Structure 1
Amino acid sequence: MTQTFGRHRGRRPRERAGNVAAALIAVGALAGAGYIAVRDRPTPGASSAAGVTPTSPPTTSLAAPCSDAATTFASPDFTGALTRVADEFRRARGSACSPVVVEPVAGPATLPDVVPPRRAAVWVARSTADVAALPRSLPHGATTAVASSPVVLALPAPMADAWGWPTQPLTVEAWRAWMLGRQTWAGAGHPEWGQLSIQMADPAHSPTAAIGFGALASLANGAPLTAPPDYTAPDERALSVIKVEHRVSSVTPDDAGVLPGREQSMADIVRRASAYVTTEKAVADHNAAHPTVPLAAVPLGGGSASIPLTAVRVGSLDTSTPGAAYAEAFVGYLGSDAGRVALRAAGLRGPDGAAPTDQPLGVAYAAASRPPAAVTPQSVQGAAKIFAVMHVRISSMALIDASGSMNQRFPGDRLSRIDLVRGLVGQTYRTASPRARSGVWFFHTVDEGGTPLIERATPLEVNKTPYGAGAHSDRVARALENVTIKGGTPLYQAVREAYAYTLSAYDPSYINQLVVLSDGANRDTTSPDQLGDLLTYLEQVQDPNRPVRIVCIGYGAEADMGALQAIARATGGRAAQVRTPAETASAVSFALFSA
């Protein structure tokens, strides 16, 4: 800890991993019994749970494209399957050249950049939500539902085995236990795996991630989640939902980067994440390539959480433009009985959830226990919005009044003001993300003469940063428990120094704020700082490229709310007064979550 006395500042400070217990790992679904199974060693001629013999993927002899071929765009998860279907389409037409060429595309926002001008093309969208997100500059035709792939929580097979799936189904209670830390990998006998963490694409750009996050959060909630949880005074249900977002340790730009590399060992995998929000098809493709660590997949909602693949013509809709005839014919084929047979033979499910009929070695499917639920643009956008609100990261530097008056009790209560602040910090860390940043300084005077003392107890650090035997968040809590309460209130000098530090530690990936908690006015101090000087300083040093707001909370009737409000307004922040302990919850919300 460094300190400032008076005007002087201190220093700133390839081997297959795991032994799968059974020859067949079948992972039970969240709130359902559908599964995708991983065979450790495939048995020739054995039937799968769906009554289908697993086979090697058929060799696809891709012909050269026809001169007026139609390009079909799709998410990278599905281009392999659609390439096989496109070749079946060629064979069905008896064509020597390929009428359809399949290309990957990240999503609707990038589609106008890749669709050839004045040509007809096909897009296999990931639900009508994708179609609704198409830029208006790109014309499109009617949609046709052609296939589906369940959204799953995938995890390394050894972890599935250690977790006990499917003999121990993942109920609401079990999922909450994992979210709240009552169940851990250490408790399952594998402390080397660290904490359960989740990797997924950004729900703002991926219906798979939006649907998956919505399903996981709803499981923790015990009911469909329609709004962000209560951060101010969360019960166990709300806290479980909050912790689902906390478990999302990595967000990739798109679905293509979600799964681990096929050559990665268990040790490599757990360094980044231990579970993945993806599709059944992506897991099947991953396992069919003989990875070092195969994945087990849990269909969310028993298969009801599913990506409905939708074919739609895009680009020029004029029937005379190049590629128009093939584009129209391919959309019709995908929606036909023959096309759906080809899609299921390529490893996709039917629109009704019917299991694939041709399965790669090492993968077996079972019928989902629930049919795919309807996916609307509103449901996908709603889940993405909830995640965006919950995923905001805040960097909060706390500047806490440690003057003698903070030992005073609230009228009619045994709780002192500093006790209330300690409770506020404890509540904050209960709901704050381990990837948020925090730090704490204290201010009071060192002697009866009023010499200012600014205690720089901790720097701004990410909460989960290791420190000693614990984490940085533990360090902040200990500093608050051990601070000495005495002396006067050099408020203005403390705010000036703390704001300068917070500005210097600015991180553009966070909402940066200085939270000032005080029960009094600037008094009983020899510091020459005045309110006008402080406001002038704040106006001069503010940087629009490094916005740092000040949030002020005044404790008790003696708090100088006029000064605190002026300080907060100078930086675009807010100020509030806490007169009774009952107002603590609203103070938590105000300090950390006000916009």
Structure 2
Amino acid sequence: MSDNEWPPPGSGEWSDPPRTRSRVLLSAALVVVVLLVAGGVTWQLMRNGSAQPIAQSTVAPSQSAGRPTVAPCPDPELTVAVAPEIEPVIRAAADGLKPANQRCAPITVRAEEPGVTLASKQRPDVWIPSSTSWLTIAAQQKINFKPSGATLAWSPIVLTAPESLVGLYSPDGKPAWTALLRAVTEGRIPVVTMPDPLLTTTGLLSVHGVHAAAALTTKDPGIAQLRALTLRSRLEDADADPVSTLKKLGAQTSPTDASYAVGVYPMVEQQLLAYQKQGHEVALSGAPPVDGLVQADYPYAVRKGVKTELVEQLRSAISREALEQAGFRTEPTAGSARLPDTAAGLLTPAKQWAQYQKLAFQVLLLIDASGSMNERIGGGTATKASLLRESGATAADLFNQDTTIGMWYFGAASANAPAHTEEVSFGPITSSVDGKPRRDLLAEKIGSYRPVTSAGTPLFQSVLDGIETMRKDASPTLPSVVVVLTDGADGGTRFTMSNQEFLKKIADGRDPKRPIPVIAVGYGPGANMAALQSMAKATGGQAIAARNPADLASAMAKAFLAARATP
């Protein structure tokens, strides 16, 4: 029986004088009234015998006064947001700081991807993202977190897959982004999955790893960009949630099913080690790619203005031993690619990657084959045409399996020559033309592209014909675009017309129900950008300048992205 319980009748404890008993009864009555009216205060007897209030509680109408509910805990003294994979380590450290005699913890730890933390209105006091890069991005958004002490841990990004797929992108036991790209474009790997680079560290770092690998294959940054986007064009899922994906893999019972459900998937090494320890039916294997090694790192960052002893107490409670047991590295990995040190450098490729639309669309390529394309550039042996051959062959890989495509060259070498010639007939990129896959034929034609020296530039007539052809031949249920690349202005042929006449014909033939936007790339200083801009405006498209011929590949990448963004 506790000290504050009523004694039972006959216990011999009612020997106080009548006045004392009256005061006790009155006090008891007042306590009952207070409990019934105000809800009361719950008291706890400590070991030393003194009673102290620990929390207020209210009594629901259906409850007896003797069984009050316990009130919720007050707001914690410290809030901590952490990357999901390191959350168990941080939570254990925080729980170790909870006083033994208190029900409510002074520290709250929540697991969330770094991009979610940035978007949240509830800023944590301490932030442990999975990359210092997120602190750079946060600072650009005027969200200031300052690292406190050394980085807690590291974990490289590994290319992971069921063991039956690993050899396809890991020649000689060395995984590579470029080997993965080749295997995907050749159809040897069924599925590649990645998380969102604007929300997750795995996605953000993987994008930079792919770009670093592509940069090793060419001196042209534009071509490197095209090659990186080629992998993006082949992703089955580009915004897979890491935690859900791991659960999905863990639920698979067949390696074949896992290969088609998730396929190759980048993750931090710690996640792979944790998965392997759990002994799932489908075994996963993985290692860091040798041509674009990137690593997650886990800074302990404190929001500006936060001052509490718990900040340092928590940091001290996170031990190297606990991190290593959880699968993290406590020293950085040698040879990791250097990441951009600005928010723009980090986010530009990530946004491009995230905004890429993997959709079925129809495109007609119009490529200028006039004589001026044979001009040399930069005082060397390279010509505009040779740059186009290299860039165009790479661009041909960007079109995904749902693309319907055709290609024309335009340029009239004689008075009676047509304005354009069909080089690749319009049709699904997966179908064949005379026994050859259309994608291969497209790359082959671009690779053998040779402009005619004496040919003029029937630009306007070719664009008009291209728009009309797309209205007739393309499916009305799918987006359709005309992409034109030219280095000059309309002229030098029997098809020559003024810009005003051309725009009038565009307006007269407009069909609001079947818009055909024109994406125009002006190649070199001689391109008539004013005409291309008016052409794009009149059709709802976009004009892109490549003033420096060496920037052709970058311009083609922009044109490709613009085409895919066209509704």
**TM-score range normalised by the length of the shorter chain:** 0.5 to 0.7
CA deviation digits over 1:483-514, x for unaligned, max 9?
9x999986533312424667988999999743
* 8 Å CA contact retained: 2:146, 2:302: yes
Match of 2:341 in 1: 378
Pick from 74, 90, 106 the counterpart of residue 82 of structure 2.
74
Name which of 245, 252, 255 aligns with 2:239: 252
In structure 2, do the counterparts of structure 1 residues 490 and 82 end up closer, same or farther at CA, with 3 Å as the change threshold?
A: same
**Structure 2 counterparts to residues 441-480 of structure 1, below 5 A:** 441=408, 457-459=424-426, 465=430, 467=432, 471-477=437-443
Query: How far does residue 124 in structure 1 lie from its aligned partner after superposition?
Result: 1.9
The TM-score with structure 2 as length reference comes to 0.59
Query: Within the alignment, does 1:99 sit opposite 2:109 as a pair?
Result: no
Residue matched to 2:407: 440
Counterpart residue number, 2:197 = 203
- The 1:372/1:79 distance shift into structure 2, 3 A limit, reads farther
Deviation of 1:75 (Å):
2.5
Q: Which runs of no fewer than 5 residues in structure 1 stay unpaired?
A: 1-63, 320-324, 354-369, 413-418, 556-560, 578-582
Spell out, residue by residue over 1:412-462, the C-alpha distance to the aligned partner (whole angstroms, 9 max, x if none): 9xxxxxx996994564123554346653135689x998888885954486x
Greater RCO, CA 8 A, separation 6+: 1
Counterpart mapping for 1:139-538 below 5 A: 140=145, 143-145=148-150, 147-159=152-164, 162=167, 168-170=172-174, 175=176, 178=179, 181=182, 184=183, 194-195=188-189, 198-215=192-209, 217-218=211-212, 230=220, 250-252=237-239, 255-256=242-243, 259=246, 261-264=249-252, 265-271=254-260, 274-299=263-288, 305-314=294-303, 317=306, 328-329=309-310, 331-336=311-316, 338-341=317-320, 343-344=322-323, 347-349=326-328, 351-352=330-331, 370=333, 378=341, 382=345, 384-386=347-349, 397-400=364-367, 424-425=388-389, 427-435=391-399, 439-441=406-408, 457-459=424-426, 465=430, 467=432, 471-477=437-443, 491-499=459-467, 513-516=483-486, 521=491, 523-524=493-494, 531-538=499-506
**Aligned partner of residue 551 in structure 1, secondary structure:** strand
| Higher relative strand content | 1
Distance in 2 of aligned mates of 1:549 and 1:87: 58
Paired letter, 2:394:
R
Question: Alignment partner of 2:250: what SS?
Answer: coil
CA distance in 2, matches of 1:300, 1:352: 19
Describe the shift of the 1:108–1:230 C-alpha distance in structure 2 as closer, same or farther (beyond 3 A). same
By how many angstroms is 1:477 displaced?
A: 4.8
Match of 2:47 in 1: none
Q: 1:522, CA displacement in angstroms?
A: 6.7
Q: How many residues align?
A: 459
Q: Distance in 2 between matches of 1:391 and 1:471?
A: 29
Give the conservation status (yes or no) of the 8 Å contact 1:179–1:240.
Answer: no
How far apart in 1 are the matches of 2:549 and 2:109?
Answer: 58
Post-superposition Cα deviations, 1:190-248, rounded to whole Å, max 9, x if no partner, equal x9x823865333434434333344445545656xx9xx9515678xxx99878776776
* More helix by percentage: 2
Structure 2's unaligned 5+ residue stretches are 1-70, 377-382, 537-541, 563-567
The one-letter code sitting in structure 1 at the alignment partner of 2:256 is A
Say if 1:351 and 1:588 are closer, same or farther in 2 by CA, change over 3 A. Answer: closer
Percent sequence identity over matched residues? 17
Q: Distance in 1 between matches of 2:482 and 2:399?
A: 14
- Does residue 1:134 correspond to 2:97, yes or no? no
> Distance between the aligned counterparts of 1:473 and 1:585, measured in 2?
25
CA contact (8 A) 1:429 1:473 kept: no
User: Does the 8 Å CA contact 2:81/2:109 hold for their aligned counterparts?
Assistant: yes
Q: Which amino acid aligns with 2:94?
A: A
The answer to whether the 8 A contact 1:154-1:283 is kept is no
Alignment partners' CA distance in 1, 2:550 and 2:337: 38
Question: Cα deviations across residues 292-346 of structure 1 (Å, max 9, x unaligned)?
Answer: 42222314679984322223344973x6xxxxx6xx42x324422x421574276
For the structure 1 residues 112 and 215, does the alpha-carbon distance in structure 2 shift closer, same or farther, using more than 3 Å as the test? closer
Deviations 1:140-190 (A, max 9, x none): 565344632412223224147646979x442xxx84872674xx599xxxx
Seen in structure 2, the aligned counterparts of structure 1 residues 214 and 142 have a Cα distance that, compared at 3 Å, is: closer
**Aligned partners of 2:178 and 2:213 also within 8 Å:** no
Compute the RMSD of aligned alpha carbons. Answer: 5.8
* TM-score normalised according to structure 1 size: 0.57
Matched-pair contact (CA < 8 Å) for 2:168–2:188: no
The secondary structure found in structure 2 opposite 1:378 is coil
Corresponding residue for 1:15?
none
Q: Residues 149 and 280 of structure 1 are in contact (CA less than 8 Å); yes or no, is this contact kept in structure 2?
A: no
